[in-house]
């Protein structure tokens, strides 16, 4: 074993693996130029998992140089060759799927159930985007018989990506997939809290046959490593997923060198329940909407609007939601039957606790939950407050944890107005058996995704992204190719030949 790897044991199960800890640049794991490292802490028990090399601006320079050199060849690589390599890496990830899910659970704190869902979508998405490699088409334009006018889509060059800690490998795939499929190269900074799965997966790209420099993974701090990516003049595009506050800063910093920017930011998504909904299915949709991944989901259905024209039905619905929520098992992700694991880092854990205190101080009604679990690890009870005012701080602000507010409504116009009364617009949902009502409301919701009788139902060929302050651009689907290509016009003057 080299000094740039370490053996890690998983808790509760008799398994271990070798984790790369170096920066992945030019198809090799290397030490940081500064010699600096940082500790990776498990949210399950607050103990050190590994020590990882810490990239700064000098390492980003080296990675960008490698990516720039690789781009000169990669951009002319045939689309079918790029597709074949992406299919191959998807196959390799599938072979390592169980191990990668365990790495995610250990590093992020999410349950194995959630991590396995992530890995399935990672594999499905990489295969989907591989199929788009030869479909970034241009068009011919009718401009008269004396001209041939056409457009072509070309790659941008070296792209930068800064990904979050809530879905480490999924966000990695969402950035890397369309970037490489369209002929770009990439320098990616994973979140400092959760770099392990990205570093492990990087070697699979080399094994699949990707040329050196096409993909580079450089863990480091947001200020130094992330800042270097945003300001680097040779990086032509930046993809960022994270909070709206940080996203605004990303836009400002990237503008200094006129980069293309896509942002997938925060949310405070409404999940609307009508009295004609199937109660059993709807309650499970609410649970998936807010408690999946410990509520650390940008599109989480954290504002639940429930029709309350029939008080008896309303109270019965609350009782059913409470009953099913309290059945959820919270704890060590490696324990059998756990649905909700730990919050990912101490800062976010404290943020959620602070919101629970605000709820207590403002006398919000507790349907269930509201407390920390244990005194070791970052575990919080699945929590629901009910009959919450529209102007409550918990209604307006993104909590990013297993906390939902439930608000009653009586008319369609009322709930549409309340649902849209937010700076965010990432997602929304409608729970009803009346398709006319569902489509009427869906058409009027200001959100990038609207789910009907489901929630968090992402699909690899369908675009995902936000309205308003929830972001710019789309992940997945054909729309993702727009983020990584630019249009070139070619116009040819045709002169009648003389024989």
Q: What b/e readout covers 266-283, taking b as 16+ CB neighbours within 10 angstroms?
A: bbbbbbbbbeebeeeebb
Active site residue 280: no
Note the maximum CA span of the chain. 91
Q: Are 448 and 465 in contact (CB under 8 A)?
A: yes
Which string of DSSP letters, residue by residue, matches 401-441?
A: SSEEEEEEE-SHHHHHHHHH-SSEESEEEEE-S-HHHHHHH
Task: Decide the pairing of beta strands 383-386 and 365-368.
Answer: antiparallel
Q: How many residues does the chain have?
A: 499
- Which residues 6+ apart lie within 8 Å of 226 measured at CB? 162, 189, 220
Q: Which of 28, 256, 264, 324 is catalytic?
A: 264
Give the residue from 338, 342, 334 showing the smallest Cα distance to 375. Answer: 342
- How far from 58 is each of 34, 89, 162, 226, 489, CA to CA, in Å? 8, 29, 17, 12, 37
CB 131 within 8 A of CB 181: no
CA angle 225, 230, 231 (to 5 degrees): 100
DSSP letters spanning 16-58: EEEEE-SEEETTEEE--TT--EEEEE-TTTS-EEEEEE-B-HH
Neighbours of 481 (CB within 10 A): 20
The residues annotated as belonging to the active site are 264
């Amino acid at each position: 074993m080299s000094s740039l790897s370490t053996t890690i044991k998983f808790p509760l199960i008799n398994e271990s693996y070798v984790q790369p800890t170096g920066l992945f640049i030019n198809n090799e794991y290397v030490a940081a130029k500064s010699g600096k490292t940082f500790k990776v802490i498990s949210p399950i028990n607050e103990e050190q998992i590994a020590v990882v090399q810490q990239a700064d601006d000098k390492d980003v320079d080296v990675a960008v140089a490698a990516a720039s050199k690789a781009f000169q060849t990669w951009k002319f690589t045939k689309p079918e060759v790029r597709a074949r390599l992406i299919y191959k890496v998807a196959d390799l990830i599938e072979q390592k799927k169980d191990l990668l899910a365990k790495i995610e659970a250990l590093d992020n704190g999410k349950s194995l159930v959630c991590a396995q869902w992530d890995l399935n979508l990672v594999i499905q998405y990489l295969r989907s985007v591989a199929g788009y490699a030869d479909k970034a088409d241009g068009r011919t334009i009718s401009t008269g018989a004396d001209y041939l006018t056409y457009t072509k889509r070309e790659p941008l060059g070296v792209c930068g990506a800064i990904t979050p800690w809530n879905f480490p490998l999924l966000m990695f795939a969402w950035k890397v997939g369309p970037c490489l499929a369209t002929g770009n190269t990439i320098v990616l900074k994973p979140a400092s809290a959760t770099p392990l799965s990205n570093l492990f997966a990087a070697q699979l790209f080399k094994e699949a046959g990707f040329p050196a420099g096409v993909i580079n993974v450089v863990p480091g701090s947001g200020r130094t490593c992330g800042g270097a990516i945003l300001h680097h003049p040779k990086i032509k595009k930046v993809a960022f997923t994270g909070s709206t506050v940080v996203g605004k800063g990303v836009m400002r910093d990237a503008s200094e060198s006129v980069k293309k920017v896509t942002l997938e930011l925060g949310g405070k998504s409404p999940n609307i329940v009508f009295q004609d909904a199937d109660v059993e299915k709807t309650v499970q949709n609410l649970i998936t909407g807010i408690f999946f991944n410990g509520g650390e989901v940008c599109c989480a259905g954290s504002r639940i609007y429930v029709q309350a024209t029939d008080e008896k039905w309303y109270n019965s619905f609350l009782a059913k939601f409470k009953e099913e929520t309290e059945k959820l098992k919270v704890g060590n992700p490696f324990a059998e039957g756990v649905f909700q694991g730990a919050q990912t880092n101490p800062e976010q854990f404290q943020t959620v606790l602070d919101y629970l205190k605000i709820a207590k101080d403002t006398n919000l009604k507790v349907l269930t939950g509201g407390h920390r679990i244990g005194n070791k690890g970052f575990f919080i009870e699945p929590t629901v407050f009910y009959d919450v005012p529209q102007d409550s701080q918990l209604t307006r602000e993104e909590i990013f944890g297993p906390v939902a507010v439930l608000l009653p409504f009586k008319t369609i116009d009322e709930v549409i107005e309340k649902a849209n009364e937010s700076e965010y617009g990432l997602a929304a949902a409608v729970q009803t058996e009346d398709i006319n009502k569902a489509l009427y409301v869906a058409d009027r919701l200001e959100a990038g995704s609207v789910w009907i009788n489901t929630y968090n139902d992402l699909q690899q060929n369908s675009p995902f992204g936000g309205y308003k302050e929830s972001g710019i651009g789309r992940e997945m689907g054909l729309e993702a190719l727009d983020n990584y290509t630019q249009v070139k016009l070619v116009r040819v003057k045709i002169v009648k030949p003389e024989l």
